[in-house]
Structure 1
Amino acid sequence: MTQIAVTCDTRTDRRLQAERLMGPQALREAQMLRFSVFSGEFNAKLKGAEFGLDMDDYDSHCRHIGVRDLASGELVATTRLLDHQAARGLGRFYSEEEFSLHGLGHLQGPILEIGRTCVAPAYRNGGTIAVLWGELAEVLNEGGYSYLMGCASIPMQDGGIQAHAIMQRLRERYLCNQHLRAEPKNPLPVLDLPGNVIAEMPPLLKAYMRLGAKICGEPCWDEDFQVADVFILLKRDDLCPRYARHFKAAV
């Protein structure tokens, strides 16, 4: 477990600690944070909503990590990790519910899938993500994983304008089908969008691109979450040198 103090703004220093979320109480904290973010911001249809939780059948097969504010004791960020062995027992990765992953079986080396990543609104800054990424790096290094994959979401409440505008940028710089091709099972509705429309990339998607991840195809429309999910793949050998210090064994 890694502890790190970070300055989030000019008024306060927050001491944030990365944490492996072990046991039912810690998992429940993660599910509560996920519910708060996904239900409150996306009006998502969530299993467990009647209990104020976001929960599904994958949770018990995943490892969960998070970031805690040591001053308040509050869990402020979380993500879950499903490796190839657990996915084999389940019969699928979570991403395969949304995408047909052509070439998945030919990837050389262990695979780790990341998902359900969320950060409390007041903590959405580079410092919180850096702490979470640091713990993710430890898991990657311990398991010797060759690939990190998963989905990053773009809100669809505007009818898809933001998603289509972002995809125009992603196709130009980050599209790569060399290792894997992700075919969406529910493609986005067609939208005739001028080429000069500019949209802000969501922080998590931007963070993946900065790490060196690529997108492997067109997005999938997740109607329950009201988001466009973009499938991303990060090969450790392609990790951006600027961020490689977090992933020591990858370089």
Structure 2
Amino acid sequence: MSAIVESPFTATPRARFEVSFAQTAAEVLETQRLRYRIFAGELGAQLKGDGIDCDQYDRFCRHLMVRDTLSGEVIACTRILTDDQAPHAGGFYSSGEFDLAMVDSLPGRVMEIGRTCVDAEYRGGAAIATLWQGIAAYITGHGFDYCFGCASIGLEDGGSSAHAILNQIRGKYLAPEYQRVRPYIRLPAADHRPTDKTRLPPLLKAYVSLGAKACGEPYWDRDFNCADVFMLLDVSELNPRYARHFLGRETTAAEPTSLAA
């Protein structure tokens, strides 16, 4: 399961990226260093670790990573917290930002993805597409019905772009009322007219392309200087255009054995 893609979910035959779960402490550390470099170094997040982004949830998560086969570097990662491991971690990470009563009522198995990041040089689509292929392999291999997580929108410009993006979400991608969650800290209203046209961040774009919905207003994460939008993907309602790439057997046929564990 490694590919270069020209669009977020269209693979070409030539292999460039490999996706697998971290199998050793050293590999987990690679993902934590990437997270720190992006969240703290690039986005200005207030993190406690010295060059490492680590929290109480890490030990209960599976750490999925994308490696550039040319450089050998980990260039994208996310972590998966499943419904059977979340109680041991004290709940899902998102429960610290949102009231997740809605998630508790969902039928079937649920899993959370979080701390997703992609190196700045690899944000053209291929890396995040490969990451999603790995997530897909895990979903299909373990019978999950829902996948959720927070897609962050940076507030580096004071929130103008974020509010423009949120306006797009409200108009096109909002979940029905019965699938809403409540943020514990709401993002303040814009104090000026939002930017008219703003591109969706890569992770948020990937979510909505697959058919995921935003479950209400975002959480204001002041430590990470971003607005977190809670996204919910019902696997049974995937956008047909991407379902083959996300769940198709041709996608998972060449998956590394580490993804099936």
TM-score normalised by L of structure 1: 0.91
Counterpart for residue 240 of structure 1:
239
Write the mapping of 1:155-234 to structure 2, written as runs, cut at 5 A: 155-194=154-193, 197-234=196-233
In 2, the alpha carbon distance for the partners of 1:199 and 1:193 equals 15
Write the mapping of 1:31-110 to structure 2, written as runs, cut at 5 A: 31-48=32-49, 50=50, 52-110=51-109
How far is the alpha carbon of 1:24 from its aligned partner?
Answer: 0.5
In 2, the alpha carbon distance for the partners of 1:95 and 1:126 equals 25
In 2, the alpha carbon distance for the partners of 1:207 and 1:118 equals 13
- Residues 99-130 of structure 1, C-alpha deviation per residue, up to 9 Å, x if partnerless? 11232221000001000000111111221122
- Residues 5-59 of structure 1, C-alpha deviation per residue, up to 9 Å, x if partnerless? 5579xxxx771111111121000000000011111221111131x2x11110100
The question of whether the paired residues in 1 share the 8 Å contact of 2:215 and 2:230 is answered with yes
In 2, the alpha carbon distance for the partners of 1:196 and 1:162 equals 6
In 2, the alpha carbon distance for the partners of 1:125 and 1:197 equals 23
In 2, the alpha carbon distance for the partners of 1:194 and 1:72 equals 43
How far is the alpha carbon of 1:237 from its aligned partner?
Answer: 1.1
The question of whether the paired residues in 2 share the 8 Å contact of 1:141 and 1:248 is answered with no
Residue type of the partner of 1:75? V
Counterpart for residue 256 of structure 2:
none
SS of 1:77 mapped into structure 2: strand
In 2, the alpha carbon distance for the partners of 1:67 and 1:30 equals 9
The question of whether the paired residues in 1 share the 8 Å contact of 2:43 and 2:225 is answered with yes
Q: Which moved more, 1:182-191 or 1:211-220?
A: 182-191
The question of whether the paired residues in 2 share the 8 Å contact of 1:102 and 1:181 is answered with no
How far is the alpha carbon of 1:180 from its aligned partner?
Answer: 2.5
Q: 1:141 aligned to 2:140?
A: yes
TM-score normalised by L of structure 2: 0.87
- Could you list the runs of 4 or more consecutive aligned residues of structure 1 that deviate by over 3 angstroms after TM superposition? 3-8, 192-196
How far is the alpha carbon of 1:197 from its aligned partner?
Answer: 2.4
In 2, the alpha carbon distance for the partners of 1:179 and 1:150 equals 17
How far is the alpha carbon of 1:228 from its aligned partner?
Answer: 0.5
Structure 2: state its 5+ residue gaps. 8-13, 250-261
SS of 1:38 mapped into structure 2: helix
SS of 2:16 mapped into structure 1: strand
The question of whether the paired residues in 1 share the 8 Å contact of 2:2 and 2:17 is answered with yes
Structure 1: state its 5+ residue gaps. none
Higher relative contact order (CA 8 A, sep 6+): 2
Percentage of matched positions with identical amino acids: 45
How far is the alpha carbon of 1:4 from its aligned partner?
Answer: 3.2
Residue type of the partner of 1:3? S
In 2, the alpha carbon distance for the partners of 1:64 and 1:199 equals 31
